[in-house]
Amino acid sequence: MAAKKKTKRVGILTAGGDAPGLNSAIRGFGKAAINEHGMELIGFRDGMRGLAENRTVELDGPALSGILTVGGTILGTSRDKVHRMVVDGEARDMIPTIVENYEKNKLDALVCLGGGGTAKNANRLLKAGLNVLHLPKTIDNDIVETDDSFGFETALEIATDAVDRLHSTAHSHHRIIVAEIMGHRAGWLALGSGIAGGADIILLPEIPYTIDSIAQTIEQRVKRGSTFSVVAVAEGARTVEDAAELAAAEALVREADTDEGKAAAKRHKKAVEAKHRENTFTLAHHLEEATGLESRVSILGYVQRGGIPCSHDRLLATRLGTAGAAAVAEGNFGVMVGTQGQQVVHVPLEKVAGKVKYVPTDHEWITAARQVGTGLGD
């Protein structure tokens, strides 16, 4: 008689900022894991924190039903770092506790749904000996080695709709409206929605701007009879001077060779970032001064990552979730399951962790934006 195959027990969690499509991915992974591969699935609540605190939830058929289109994450999330988790006001290395919890739950694998921070955490857990798998989620589209991450397309739709809508009110009032768009340190969301929504100016972290250049674009528009402008600005976009200040602060962090020096450099970098946080309002103020046109700010904020996922993200999350379950069944661990072209690919986590996919300044989206006359502030 053939030996009975051991039932695999798998843990799953969602970490980092929430994004539309997380529940579609939990469902895709869970249904394939249970129905196709005969596995057992448990969820950890609130990302890496729930994993460290061993807060679990059974994920069976009924729990996975009816969540395809639900926004957010049914598991909850957090932005904790496994090696420096704040517990009772102190940063602690929770990796040994997490390894214990993994063993206590008799897990064969742990599936982490998240962005760049989650890839770093997953890689740390991989090095600690856990069988880890990562599925790429982010509205920022800034994960390397994958063309797609669920959440991005939904956010792109929302931000595009906002840029569209700002046109009529900017036009009616002869105003400049500066729309701040998320994306962390990458400009994909601002660039994509700026192009799709027909923004007159798009400002990205990858292309530092000057007020003079933006004012010139606006003045040329006024000369042509357009007495309004919509500016799509990525939250990480900076003036040439501010970008240089931040780059210098980052270099100090990289070059510090003592723990104390590093801590001081990090504090300085945080202070620089805090100073730049008001950038969008400062920009609108300077544009009003430079052009004489009344200026307003619209921060799109968390609306961009709330609500139901679009069809692209539901499809992508289901593809990656089911492919992830197959990877676990095959014992293919230590990888991110992403896409390149039309293909689902398995990329070693060490190639992903700690890297950021910025917009290349010669990217064809940038060429397209320039060729339709969009100002990029440079």
Interface residue with ligand F6P among 140, 180, 200, 242 (CB under 6 A) is 140
Q: Which stretch binds ligand F6P (CB under 6 A): 135-143, 221-229, 240-248, 354-362?
A: 135-143
Report, in Å, the least distance between residue 16 CB and ligand F6P.
6
Q: Examine residue 31 and tell whether it contacts ligand F6P (CB under 6 A).
A: no
Residue 327 structure tokens: 């990877």
Q: Examine residue 192 and tell whether it contacts ligand F6P (CB under 6 A).
A: no
For ligand F6P, the closer of residues 19 and 211 by Cβ is 19
Report, in Å, the least distance between residue 305 CB and ligand F6P.
5
Rounded CA separation 119/136 (Å): 8
Please tell me what DSSP assigns to residue 253.
Answer: H
For ligand F6P, the closer of residues 95 and 139 by Cβ is 139
Question: Residues with Cβ < 8 Å from 358, sequence gap 6 or more?
Answer: 142, 185, 186, 187, 205, 206
For ligand F6P, the closer of residues 140 and 291 by Cβ is 140
Q: Which of residues 90-129 bind ligand F6P (CB under 6 A)?
A: 115
Q: Examine residue 17 and tell whether it contacts ligand F6P (CB under 6 A).
A: yes
Q: Which stretch binds ligand F6P (CB under 6 A): 43-51, 93-101, 181-189, 196-204?
A: 181-189
The burial of 190, by beta-carbon neighbours within 10 Å (0-12 exposed, 13-18 middle, 19 or more buried), is given as buried
| Residue whose CB is nearest to ligand F6P in the complex, by number | 182
For ligand F6P, the closer of residues 140 and 148 by Cβ is 140
Active-site annotation holder among 140, 142, 148, 200: 140
Q: Examine residue 8 and tell whether it contacts ligand F6P (CB under 6 A).
A: no
Residue 222 structure tokens: 């006024």
Query: Quick check: is 140 catalytic?
Result: yes
Q: Examine residue 146 and tell whether it contacts ligand F6P (CB under 6 A).
A: no
Please tell me what DSSP assigns to residue 36.
Answer: I
Report, in Å, the least distance between residue 185 CB and ligand F6P.
8
CB 200 within 8 A of CB 218: yes
For ligand F6P, the closer of residues 123 and 304 by Cβ is 304
For ligand F6P, the closer of residues 94 and 182 by Cβ is 182
Question: Residues with Cβ < 8 Å from 150, sequence gap 6 or more?
Answer: 19, 20, 21, 22, 24, 25, 135, 136, 137, 309, 313, 316, 317, 320
Tell me the number of residues near ligand F6P by CB under 6 A: 11
Q: Which stretch binds ligand F6P (CB under 6 A): 51-59, 179-187, 225-233, 286-294?
A: 179-187
CB 16 within 8 A of CB 143: no
Q: What is the CA radius of gyration of the chain?
A: 23
For ligand F6P, the closer of residues 17 and 136 by Cβ is 17
Residue 38 structure tokens: 């005969």
Q: Examine residue 183 and tell whether it contacts ligand F6P (CB under 6 A).
A: yes
Interface residue with ligand F6P among 24, 101, 118, 138 (CB under 6 A) is 138
Specify the amino acid at residue 162.
A
Q: List the x/- string, 233-262, binding to ligand F6P by CB under 6 A.
A: --x---------------------------
Rounded CA separation 273/268 (Å): 9
For ligand F6P, the closer of residues 150 and 228 by Cβ is 150
Residue 134: how many other CB atoms lie within 10 Å:
31
Q: What is the DSSP string of 115-160?
A: SHHHHHHHHHHHHTT--EEEEEEESS---TT-S--EEHHHHHHHHH
Q: Examine residue 64 and tell whether it contacts ligand F6P (CB under 6 A).
A: no
Rounded CA separation 104/172 (Å): 63
Cα end-to-end span (Å), the chain: 72
Question: Which residues, in sequence order, are bridge partners of residue 44?
Answer: 56
Q: Which stretch binds ligand F6P (CB under 6 A): 47-55, 134-142, 321-329, 370-378?
A: 134-142
Query: Catalytic site residues?
Result: 140
Give the binding site for ligand F6P (CB under 6 A): 17, 79, 115, 138-140, 182-184, 235, 305
